[in-house]
Amino acid sequence: MSAIYMDNAATSFPKPEGVSSSMKTYMDEVGATINRSVYGAAQDAGLTTLLLREAAAKLFHFPEPATHVILTPGATASLNMVIKGLLKPGDHCIVSSMEHNAVMRPLLQLEGVSFDRIPCNAEGLLNPADVEPLIRPNTRLVIMAHGSNVCGAVQDAAAVGAICRRHGIPFVLDAAQTAGHIDIDFEGWGLSALAAPGHKGLLGPSGIGLLLLRDDFARLLDPLIAGGTGSASDSEYLPDYLPDRFESGTPNLPGIYGLEASLRFLQEQGIEKLHAHEMALCKRFLEGVKNIPGVNVCGPQGLNNRVGVISLDFVGQDNAEVAYRLETEFGILTRCGLHCAPSAHKTLGTFPRGTVRFAPGFSTTEAEVDAVLAAIAGVCQG
């Protein structure tokens, strides 16, 4: 029985050709770090890092120089850097009711910081008109999951961004489920920052992520980590220029080489083509599942306002047992449970039961989707 990987919302697999070989080349033939030395291998590492920053800036229509693309250990680290680097006691923050714990847990660690949740409907979608009434004089940040990791619902970031801009409030997008899936317009949507993991839709390795910072927003952030940057070594204070201010310590060079290769792949393929493939699979999946009694789709029922993250609730069955059967009897790899997003499940009405999540990827085929549908039908028959 060959496995069908349906867990791309957790992490993408397989990676495009070239990702692991680029990492291997770094490990076997380059080996040097950046910003410290000037010999050939160090220059190679420096150039690859620059190419990565430039590719990310281009991908997200980022108006700032590539220096403002900060390399982090992942989306969680990027979000912590924003939330804990910005908010102080007395501040107020606005989030959506669909947030991942990568936003909620750092926020709840901050004493004296209050927040409100923008309500979302039973499909996991917010109404931008609900944002303005939540704004208070001390609101310092609006931070929002662009795409839900539970049900794939995609929020209208442009509309929320326009409201934030009107009120002069920084707007930060958690693009963990949309980066690499949807064309994100950093400048057009008025973003102050964007957080993305390298290992999901960007198709790179785990252990590396991005934080794109608009210059005026970066000036408001206190760096969470301080240390050697290989620059301004005459001073014991952190430099005030980017990316160094937010990149203390030796970076994840194998990750940088891997992510640089995967962003090249994304650029060659084009986000639109990959998105069209994902949506075609999603359509096939949603249409097929509609005809299977005993299973409900949670979140957006159609193709509008969504990415290809599909959560199912198996009526009258234990969803964890269903996921186990899908794996052991059919070789289908899913994720079940609450997906680190309890508030999203409360919004969708699936708390504390959870759901079984299916997320096809760029290399998933129609035949694999059909096999998944047949397996779901089999599991629903008993």
Ligand X SMILES: Cc1ncc(COP(=O)(O)O)c(C=O)c1O
Nearer to ligand X, 92 or 357 (CB): 357
3-state DSSP assignment of residue 253: helix
- Contact predicate 33/228, CB 8 Å: no
Smallest separation, CB 338 to ligand X (Å): 12
**Cβ contacts of residue 300 below 8 Å, gap of 6+?**
123, 124, 125, 151, 152, 153, 306
CA angle (198, 12, 337) in 5-degree steps: 105
CA–CA separation, 329 and 172 (whole Å): 42
Nearer to ligand X, 79 or 86 (CB): 79
- Count of residues of this chain found to bind ligand X when the rule CB under 6 A is applied: 11
**Taking CB under 6 A as the rule, which mask of x and - marks residues 2-41 in contact with ligand X?**
----------------------------------------
Q: Radius of gyration over alpha carbons of the chain, in Å?
A: 21
Residue of 366, 355, 372, 380 lying closest to 292 (CA atoms): 380
- DSSP bridge partners of 356: 312, 336
Smallest separation, CB 296 to ligand X (Å): 22
Nearer to ligand X, 92 or 200 (CB): 200
Residue of 167, 55, 124 lying closest to 297 (CA atoms): 124
Smallest separation, CB 325 to ligand X (Å): 24
Nearer to ligand X, 18 or 207 (CB): 207
Smallest separation, CB 146 to ligand X (Å): 8
CA–CA separation, 319 and 324 (whole Å): 9
CA–CA separation, 208 and 367 (whole Å): 32
Residue of 261, 335, 292 lying closest to 23 (CA atoms): 261
Q: Closest residue to ligand X, Cβ-based?
A: 149
Contacts with ligand X in 173-232 (CB under 6 A)? 174, 176-177, 197
Nearer to ligand X, 174 or 247 (CB): 174
Smallest separation, CB 8 to ligand X (Å): 11
Stretch that binds ligand X, among 47-55, 74-82, 219-227, 289-297 (CB under 6 A): 74-82
Stretch that binds ligand X, among 69-77, 108-116, 271-279, 350-358 (CB under 6 A): 69-77
Nearer to ligand X, 145 or 376 (CB): 145
Stretch that binds ligand X, among 40-48, 170-178, 268-276, 313-321 (CB under 6 A): 170-178
- 145 is a site residue for ligand X (CB under 6 A): yes
- DSSP bridge partners of 295: 314
Q: At what angle do helices 75-86 and 101-109 cross, to 10 degrees?
A: 30
Q: Within 13 Å of residue 11, how many CA atoms lie on the same side as its CB?
A: 12
Residue of 323, 298, 311 lying closest to 379 (CA atoms): 323
Contacts with ligand X in 92-111 (CB under 6 A)? 100, 102
Choose, by CB under 6 A, the member of 30, 71, 75, 359 that binds ligand X. 75
Smallest separation, CB 73 to ligand X (Å): 8
Stretch that binds ligand X, among 15-23, 68-76, 260-268, 295-303 (CB under 6 A): 68-76
- 306 is a site residue for ligand X (CB under 6 A): no
Smallest separation, CB 108 to ligand X (Å): 15
- Contact predicate 263/52, CB 8 Å: yes
- Contact predicate 375/9, CB 8 Å: no
Q: Which spans of this chain sit near ligand X (rule: CB under 6 A)?
A: 74-76, 100, 102, 145, 149, 174, 176-177, 197
